[in-house]
Structure 1
Amino acid sequence: MTKIILSGCNGKMGKVISNLALNHSELEIVAGIDKKSEESQYPVFDNISNCSVDADVILDFSRPTSLDSLITYGISKNIPIVLCTTGYSEEQIKLIEDTSKKIPMFRSANMSIGVNIVNNILKEISGFMYKNFDIEVIEKHHNQKVDAPSGTALLLADTIKDNIKEETKYTFGREGNCKREHKEIGIHAIRGGSIVGEHDVIFAGQGEVIELKHTAQSRDVFAIGALNACLFMGIKDIKPGLYDMNDVIKASL
């Protein structure tokens, strides 16, 4: 049984994860971390430094501001950390990379298996498609999402950019009176209502348009991916390193 400390347990995703974990035979949430105090089936602490419950892995669905305390606790207890939060600064990403040399760290911009399959397809086709197609990334989320563009949109855009030999540049949104340059990769963010998450990669050529699209119909897809990541990271004697959803997918093949 993999025991989990859930950071951000009283947020929207935290509640979805808690409910799904109740019926899971291989894992258990044994403690939560959240500044909001709500009744829960497990003890909840306002800061992980106050947590007195032993666990096998930390799962974070909170805010980037929690990173330092999570890492301090993870190193002190020598337990892996699964980071599902987005919006980290460059300095925080460097801290995550440095910490992964000491303890196992998992970071993914999107926990959906489907999104990661789309991302793997982009690795294979982006270099070829760029020759004859303009590339645009459009993401849609609910009106309460803080960061824009989404971490997933940046994940997809970075994959496209990294697999194109020619020099490209990001254009965030579009305005003005100038023509689009071919070297641009457009990234557009839409916020409204209760949209769970949509990501659309458009390859627009002469006389044809190809789209790769992923739509999350509920938050369950992210919760299921996160719990699978916890099972993967909670295995005995996992070595320090930086892991992502590709490692989870490969392990299940």
Structure 2
Amino acid sequence: MSVDPTATVHPSAVIEDGATIGPGARIGPFCVIGPEVTVAADVDIRSHVVVAGWTDIGAGTVIFPFASIGEVPQDLKFAGERTRLRIGARNRIREHVTMNTGTVQGGGETVVGDDGLFMAGCHIAHDCHIGDRVIVVNQSAIAGHCQIADDVIVGGLSGIHQWVRIGRGAIIGALSMVTNDVVPYGLVQGPRAELDGLNLVGLKRRGVARADIQALRVALLTLKQGEGTFLERARRLGDETESDHVRQMVEFITGASDRSFLVPK
């Protein structure tokens, strides 16, 4: 066990041999920190939190009471292999959040980026790769092997099916069940979620130029009504567009995936 002298550990917390607690970190009452856990500088683990497995927690992250971080995957194929969870810097992980380590079949690692907000009761499953500045709202579940790009918002009480990819800047409305890939900057909503336009609010908040927003509007219309298959229309867009944002959308559509796409209504 390695506890930096500037760290603060409550007397009721259990720090198992082998754990590493970084400078300025705070471990609150009744927390349990496992033997393969690394807690970086200035991490604040409030109280009644369990951090298990081979888990790294990035600097400045705050974990609120009753979260369970780094426990084994909810996957019947898992047979005790040594797999990992990596959490980036400055995340806010609220009450009752669960994040699991990876599986050998899925690459062995679950990854969470920087500056995310994971609200009460949400779940990040095995082998997910979560980008930066992602918000997952209360009681939403991200199933195994999902890829969630930067700046995505997943609304409350939503479910993301395993292997789904959600592109950068997309927003998922509350109470949505997402079973197919979501293009970058898409707006998705509905009990059986459908692509319902662009995340215009998010684009404007990030200062995306009006010309790029208009190009994305045209791109969605082309994907909906153009000639050929969805994939053929996307490739044609890539050849014709001058917008980097549309190119990102095209690269996402033409990338490797185990799912089909939510298409414009």
TM-score class normalised by the smaller sequence: under 0.3
Q: Larger helix proportion, structure 1 or 2?
A: 1
TM-score normalised by length of structure 1: 0.26
User: Which structure carries more relative contact order (alpha carbon 8 Å, separation 6+)?
Assistant: 1
